[in-house]
A and B are shown apart, each in its own frame.
Chain A
Amino acid sequence: AQSVAQPEDQVNVAEGNPLTVKCTYSVSGNPYLFWYVQYPNRGLQFLLKYITGDNLVKGSYGFEAEFNKSQTSFHLKKPSALVSDSALYFCAVTGPSGGYQKVTFGTGTKLQVIP
């Protein structure tokens, strides 16, 4: 069965500092990996995805993620954090399930950017 782990419930970072939100996954076959962000009282919004190719994926709002196959990780990064980046971040993986593709989400990491 596929799974996603986000080991940190919360990450605190000072504004202007680089940030990393960690994600590891387990899936059979080649993974499709995603990051979504959720602001208060909103649904999730797509940030970026990895399908194949370059291990460094660039997404919305200056975020990027690095795919590491040997470590089965897909960490989300940003060079300089903004207060407005404070939100709940979800990592997700898509894998085969009964002939179709099934999405599994991590438990989420709350990012707090401190002014």
Chain B
Amino acid sequence: GQQLNQSPQSMFIQEGEDVSMNCTSSSIFNTWLWYKQDPGEGPVLLIALYKAGELTSNGRLTAQFGITRKDSFLNISASIPSDVGIYFCAGRNTGNQFYFGTGTSLTVIP
């Protein structure tokens, strides 16, 4: 099935650093979602974006719905060890179909 292009594939950062990751698609989406998955667990919804240009925060997390509707960004500020995990983006197209990114694996070094 179709998957979104998510980058970077992995990140190794020092505790306290900021993190940025993004997701791009060749087609337009109406909704962008960001999930975090811990090993062996199900993805947990972090942020949902429903409007082009929308900027939404959830604590230290901020995500934006790109104005072209073909991309989205997730930023994590002042990373902490519990931010470790895999982050997935997901987009919903005009046909109400969901597509998931390939994931960004985040490692935070204390």
Q: Do A and B bind each other?
A: no
B residues contacting A by CB (< 8 A) are none
A residues contacting B by CB (< 8 A) are none
